[in-house]
Amino acid sequence: MTSMVNSTASPIQDPEQEDLYGYFPTRYVCFIFVTLFGVSTAIHLAEAIYWRVSWLFATACFAGVSEVIGWSARLWSSYSPFAQDPYIMQLCVTIIAPSPLVAALFILFGRISERLGAQYGRLSPMWYSVIFLTCDIISLVTQGVGGGIAGSSIGNESEVNLGGNIMLAGIIFQLTSITIFVILMMEYFIRYFMDKPLRQPKKGLSSEEAFASARGVLTKKLQLLIVSLLAMTLFLVIRSVYRMIELIDGFEGEIIQTEIWFNIFDGAMVVCAIYTLNVLHPGWLLETVPLHDISPGGSPRASLVSLNPKAKGSEEEQ
């Protein structure tokens, strides 16, 4: 990479040093993103503990910590733009950091479909999580391996290209799995709103089975949670499309060497996604959700079922 664009500093370059980014990372921008991700991660940690939502530790919290590490490496590069270690670190970490946040989408939709009724989906709530989380892990590992190869092979064009292609394969796989997930999710919501389940309850079900197959009530809290799910999905899809185009263009391409595009379509999109989950948090939006109790005759009647351990404990005390 030889072009120097979006530069905010002018360190003297040794003729033997390679311009790794194609620009000098803007220091104050890196500070802003480190701060934003740090604050969001701290809030997510507190929310996960307070609301006892343990799956957010391995998803939102992990994604936030990874983003802090990645942007800290870019901040390091703003001081030492020709050092390879921070460049390799940010290359490997920023490519995989949003993957745990994508995993949160899959788990969140599984929770929503449990509340509204599993009969409207092609898959059970559990299988939505299992299948798409597996895809997300495959994507994360693939991108991480590719980033490691590309970052550790600076100066070896063939190895760098190999690493870039592996990263590209991981991004394409992730984007494909998200696209399939979105199609299945939209079909689910359409079927729910039209009340056209894919599976009808069988006769002679136990009360527990009948309860699980009932049509859940779409409360205002669940509506907000669905808005959160759709907004996060949009932000992360935009980010994935950008990274795919960036890698197709190559490490010597204009896209990867233009800092503003990375700041907007990677950093800002992930910030929007992670803060959306901070504000529209499943801890309080799934605290208590009206579902349906099932009478012996199979007719539904409304009831309030606590879905949050903290809320359940307070109700028992009352």
pLDDT (average), residues 246-271 = 95
pLDDT per residue over 19-41, tens digit each? 789 999 999 999 999 999 999 99
Rounded CA-CA distance 101/98 in Å is 5
Rounded CA-CA distance 249/84 in Å is 22
Look at residue 186 and tell me whether its pLDDT is greater than 70.
yes
Rounded CA-CA distance 228/291 in Å is 21
Find where tokens 């993957």 sit: 99
Name the band, by pLDDT with cuts 50, 70 and 90, for residue 199. confident
Q: What number of other Cβ atoms are within 10 A of residue 186's Cβ? A: 11
Look at residue 227 and tell me whether its pLDDT is greater than 50.
yes
pLDDT value for 156: 83
pLDDT value for 125: 87
Percent of the chain with pLDDT over 70: 80
Name the band, by pLDDT with cuts 50, 70 and 90, for residue 154. confident
Q: What string of DSSP letters covers 20-40?
A: SSSSPPPHHHHHHHHHHHHHH
Percent of the chain with pLDDT over 90: 68
Higher-confidence residue of 216 and 83: namely: 83
pLDDT value for 151: 81
Give the lowest-confidence range in 35-49, 122-136, 192-206: 192-206
Stated pTM of the model: 0.83
Look at residue 299 and tell me whether its pLDDT is greater than 60.
no
Is 136 within 8 Å of 103 (Cβ atoms)? yes
b/e per residue 140-154 (b: at least 16 CB within 10 A): bebbbbbbbbbbebb
pLDDT value for 79: 96
Look at residue 147 and tell me whether its pLDDT is greater than 80.
yes
Find where tokens 């490997």 sit: 92
Mean per-residue pLDDT of the chain: 84
Rounded CA-CA distance 186/181 in Å is 9
Look at residue 209 and tell me whether its pLDDT is greater than 70.
no
Look at residue 75 and tell me whether its pLDDT is greater than 70.
yes
Give the lowest-confidence range in 127-131, 175-179, 275-279: 127-131
